[in-house]
Structure 1
């Protein structure tokens, strides 16, 4: 009800507040600083990232918590990299590290390759 901008991701809207985005994310501060539109503008983002991941990113900006299945953490990490959100990248790395098991390591490895993520193998003795 009080949003003043709509983020459109693959045609789906996410209602947010410009002031909050500008405070919490340098990318949005740069993109929205000269916006003087009185009505609710629609800011369309690239189709590179899925709606669920983009919504999780915006929720992270609002709450500081990641609410997303671990299988989407690499995509969120790539989005965080794109928007220069280093704390979120670190959190995604932690989520991925905790989620990797012997049975799903191939899945995470292939996703890391898709996302062009740096892959490091941690050997624990």
Structure 2
């Protein structure tokens, strides 16, 4: 027995269709303006085609499923290609680990690399100035325009951003460092902010120290604070009214 396994109908066009177990598709009702009283065997393999071809107007009796295409935006494509050894033409060796990059992208995105790589034919460049997490975060930033790094390592990235004159990266570093501030490291972060001329972070750390003055002044970092920084801190704290009581 050839059983019906699927049946469909469209009220607006008064058209019906069914599919049997053997794959045959039948239709009946109003088909191109004609009344088909008995199920009529078609050449279709899917009931959807009945409504697309014979309904007036053409319809779909169920939602059409469209698979998402694999189109990537330029930003998504660049993000995908970071540290891809299959397409990269340059490798950085940092802490005995490789980071695969594309020379032309580095030259486009960074003034430092525009001059540094202009005449370089090297395929492997060894980097000793910064740690692997810091340098990887920097290179990834050139591909993604964002950073993913711990607040602790972000201090090293702040140093790099200052050295390479990457102002936007410098701002992102300051935002990340703020997330990791506590009484124990507030003075250390304040010192780093002053050293790398990160005014926004400096002010943030100073305010944190003032609001947690009792605990901060009892830390080892405060006891070991460089004399000039300590002098400036006390003067600024005094002007802010921290010693009124």
- Please tell me whether the aligned partners of residues 6 and 41 of structure 1 are also in contact (alpha carbons under 8 angstroms): yes
Structure in which a larger fraction of residues adopt helix:
1
For 1:100 and 1:8, the matched residues in 2 are separated by 31
Q: Deviations over 1:50-78 (max 9, x none)?
A: 01110010001110111111111110000
- Please tell me whether the aligned partners of residues 8 and 43 of structure 1 are also in contact (alpha carbons under 8 angstroms): yes
1:43, distance to aligned residue in structure 2 (A)? 1.7
Q: Give the 4+ runs in structure 1 shifted more than 4 A.
A: none
Counterpart in 1 of 2:170? 89
- Please tell me whether the aligned partners of residues 107 and 113 of structure 2 are also in contact (alpha carbons under 8 angstroms): yes
1:43 aligns with 2:98: no
Counterpart in 2 of 1:117? 196
RMSD over aligned Cα atoms = 2.5
Structure in which a larger fraction of residues adopt strand:
2
For 2:97 and 2:126, the matched residues in 1 are separated by 10
1:105 aligns with 2:190: no
How many residue pairs are counted as aligned between the two chains? Answer: 119
Q: Deviations over 1:55-107 (max 9, x none)?
A: 01000111011111111111000011111111001111111123213344245
Equivalent positions of 1:7-22 (< 5 A) are 7-22=92-107
For 2:202 and 2:161, the matched residues in 1 are separated by 19
For 2:203 and 2:157, the matched residues in 1 are separated by 20
- Please tell me whether the aligned partners of residues 150 and 176 of structure 2 are also in contact (alpha carbons under 8 angstroms): no
Counterpart in 1 of 2:76? none
- Please tell me whether the aligned partners of residues 71 and 108 of structure 1 are also in contact (alpha carbons under 8 angstroms): no
Counterpart in 1 of 2:22? none
Larger radius of gyration: 2
Between 1 and 2, higher relative CO (CA 8 Å, sep ≥ 6) is seen in 1
